[in-house]
Amino acid sequence: MKTARAYLRREILGATLLVLAAFLCLFAFFDFLAELEDVGRAGYQLKHALIFVALSIPSRAYEVMPIAVLIGTLYALTQFARNSELTVLRASGVSIMQLLGSLLRIGLIFVVLTFVIGEYVAPPLERVGQKWRLRSTNASVPQELRTGMWMRDGRLFVNIQRVLPDASLERVKIFEFDTEGRLASLNLAQKGVYSPTEGWTLSDVTQTRFLENRTELVKMPALRWSSELTPDMISVVMVTPERMALGNLFQYTRHLEANAQRTGRYEVALWKKVVYPLAALVMMGLALPFCLGNQRSVNVGARVMTGVMLGIGFYLLNALFSNLGILNAWPAVVSAAAPSLVFFLLAVVLMWSVDRR
């Protein structure tokens, strides 16, 4: 069984990596076509688009890894079935559960690979890619509101009109309220720069202090601003939550909770980061029932198409449950784990039906 497991591991790894490479080429092509619309605008050149697409490839690899595992495993196992190798293994006394155990041991490789890509490779390169694109187009970090970005920091409400790719700020307004909810001061700064040792330094500051029966206007060339907000938190809008690192998601979610702000989308993304790598195990278990028995006459293309359709279903189900969970305020762990759980139950039902034959 050890020799058979090594052979099976080699075949599944080769098939999965080949499928993954095909998917990445396809997604890179479509991403490049999308970038061509902006080529020629504001100094954005063809080389900038190519580099941006290349930096986005690890994020795509993380997203399609479970689908590639499913299709690659289906292909490899179907080849085994066509060559009667699975039949020989079964005839030699290898049970379905032993086959499943071997597949799950191989699947741990993909679990680790998916986690490493999603946590240590894709997020930093995604952020570098977004900064590269913004610098190439001389643009700022996109805001959801016309008035800029709004954030809360304790009793401070911060409005940032523009965030530059280097995470420096332009036209910053800081509204400070007292313990009774009354406006105590308003700071208007033209620029803000962050230092890891000194925190934020605001320059060209106009401070308005609201006293009991009067206001005071003070102008300062610079003002030190002590805040829990960091450039990573402020520039979080550069990268979608699903493509952020687990540590940054956790830190930003805690910040939102501390300031009584909504955390739904970020909590779902946080749990998906934990659950998503395990989907590789579910996909490998799902592939096995399709390939058991004497199937020498089965078309390999039909099996691959089955894997593609199941993979697309998993991808769509992930997006569906994430959005439904946010809209209906479901527990984040339920929204994140539901697609994998649905496919796990499907695999269990198929295994049970095959085992009864």
CB atoms within 10 A of CB 348: 13
Backbone dihedral angles phi then psi of residue 168, each to the nearest 5 degrees:
-80, 155
pLDDT digits (tens, 9 = 90+) for 143-188: 555 677 888 888 889 998 888 777 788 899 999 998 888 899 999 9
* CA nearest neighbour of 148 among 135, 162, 138, 137: 162
* Per-residue confidence band for 79, with pLDDT thresholds at 50, 70 and 90: confident
Identify the residue with better confidence: 235 or 117: 117
* Length of the chain counted residue by residue: 357
Highest mean pLDDT among 18-32, 36-50, 191-205: 18-32
Please give the residue that has the higher pLDDT: either 131 or 223.
223
355 against 82, higher pLDDT: 82
CA 86/CA 288 separation, integer angstroms: 11
Q: What is the pLDDT of residue 220?
A: 92
Across the chain, what does the average pLDDT equal? Answer: 85
pLDDT computed for residue 357 by the predictor: 62
pTM check: above 0.95: no
pLDDT at position 235, please? 67
Q: Which of 49-58, 189-198, 282-291, 295-304 has the highest mean pLDDT?
A: 49-58
Q: Given this model, what pLDDT does residue 13 score?
A: 94
Query: Alpha-carbon distance 340 to 278, whole Å?
Result: 8
Average pLDDT over residues 18-29: 95
The more confidently predicted of residues 117 and 259 is: 117
Spatial CB neighbours of 6, under 8 Å, sequence gap ≥ 6: none
Per-residue pLDDT, 152: 85
pLDDT of residue 300: 67
Q: What is the largest CA-CA distance in the chain?
A: 93
Instruction: Classify 173 as helix, strand or coil.
Output: strand
